Structure 1
Amino acid sequence: MDIHKLTEEEANEINTWTYEEPYHLYSFSGAKEVIEELLDGTYYGCCDDNGEFIGYFCFGENAQVPGGRDAYLYGGEDVIDIGLGMKPALTGKGLGKMFFQAGIDFVVKEFRPKTFRLSVATFNTRAITLYKNIGFKQGPIFLSRGREFMLMEYERPSV
């Protein structure tokens, strides 16, 4: 897998992505402001071994959910927040572990955090199961824009 700074072409593609219910909250609006955020330097594209664009990762504040920020849940030393999204046509096909693991490997190499943190909608049991299988632990649950989210954290073993 190749992970790289998101290109404008990839940002434009992501901005057209729509997901079926109940995952619709992860859909993109198509607004111009979305492209500006996607190209702000915190988003990275991911291509498979054939060079096909399959998804993105984002790190830092753009990976945080507003309700979690409002509840002051995003503090901590040596923690990186991770956000991610796969191309809608590829979700639910068993590719998530390989995709997410590539993102984790990239974070270890590029940022070297002690702790990884992510926010996930509590209804998204597919993602929660994946994160737990990789070693993430459930953290606080909070509301954001009328939806329930959960923080999950993974502390990297000492190297």
Structure 2
Amino acid sequence: MDKPITQFQIAPMEEAHGAEICTWHYDSPYDIYSWLPWEQMKALDVEFGNPVIRTEQYISVLDQDGSLVGFAQYFPLQGVTRLGIGLKPELCGNGLGKSFVEAIVAEARRRKPENEIDLEVLTWNTRAIRAYQKVGFTITDLYEKMTPGGVSKPFYCMVYKGDSSSAQ
């Protein structure tokens, strides 16, 4: 990552992207967001290890050079596009969050313009919450939910209200 990222591109998630994402490892406490090994994801036929789910729900986010820098999941809910978002670990905390999330929201709006857009985030993840708020997400609910590790933790639901800086 020698050159700074100046733009993000949305692309279909290829199998190679899924395999690469499975090699990403986040430092604690963000390690909760690390995935199972790729061969295990495929064998279990889960998430982007399942070709149909990968095609229907996941996208890859690429930088201007076409390198994989993140991904998003668009959960299929009635009247709502729920986002799942992941940025490559070494890019986290470098000020890319706002433009990264803006690209993902723009794609959600393109896919289903009539839908509300929301996401769930662990309440301790202030770094992500700040990025979401900069894009125009607002905390609307607080509840306990199971984490991928099987532990119940507090989550916020955040709903996209639009970029507050562009509202007059």
Corresponding position: 1:18 with 2:25: yes
8 A Cα contact 2:18 2:38, kept in partner: no
- Tell me the residue number matched to 1:126: 127
Structure 2 residues not aligned, in runs of 5+: 1-7, 164-168
Equivalent-residue separation in structure 2 for 1:109 and 1:84 (angstroms): 17
Q: Counterpart of 1:56 in 2: which secondary structure?
A: strand
8 A Cα contact 1:117 1:153, kept in partner: yes
Deviation for aligned residue 1:31: 5.2
Corresponding position: 1:45 with 2:60: yes
- Tell me the residue number matched to 1:149: 155
- Tell me the residue number matched to 1:69: none
Instruction: Choose which of 51, 58, 63 in structure 1 pairs with 2:73.
Output: 58
**Alignment size in residue pairs:** 143
Deviation for aligned residue 1:156: 5.3
Moved more, 12-21 or 148-157: 148-157
8 A Cα contact 2:143 2:155, kept in partner: yes
8 A Cα contact 1:4 1:46, kept in partner: yes
Report % sequence identity. Answer: 30
- Tell me the residue number matched to 2:3: none
Corresponding position: 1:27 with 2:30: no
Equivalent-residue separation in structure 1 for 2:87 and 2:159 (angstroms): 20
8 A Cα contact 1:122 1:148, kept in partner: yes
Deviation for aligned residue 1:111: 1.9
Q: TM-score, normalised by structure 1?
A: 0.81
RMSD between aligned alpha carbons? 1.9
8 A Cα contact 2:137 2:162, kept in partner: no
Q: Counterpart of 2:93 in 1: which secondary structure?
A: coil
Equivalent-residue separation in structure 1 for 2:119 and 2:129 (angstroms): 10
8 A Cα contact 1:115 1:156, kept in partner: no
- Tell me the residue number matched to 2:112: 111
Deviation for aligned residue 1:49: 1.0
Structure 1 residues not aligned, in runs of 5+: 62-74
Q: Counterpart of 1:104 in 2: which secondary structure?
A: helix
Q: TM-score, normalised by structure 2?
A: 0.77
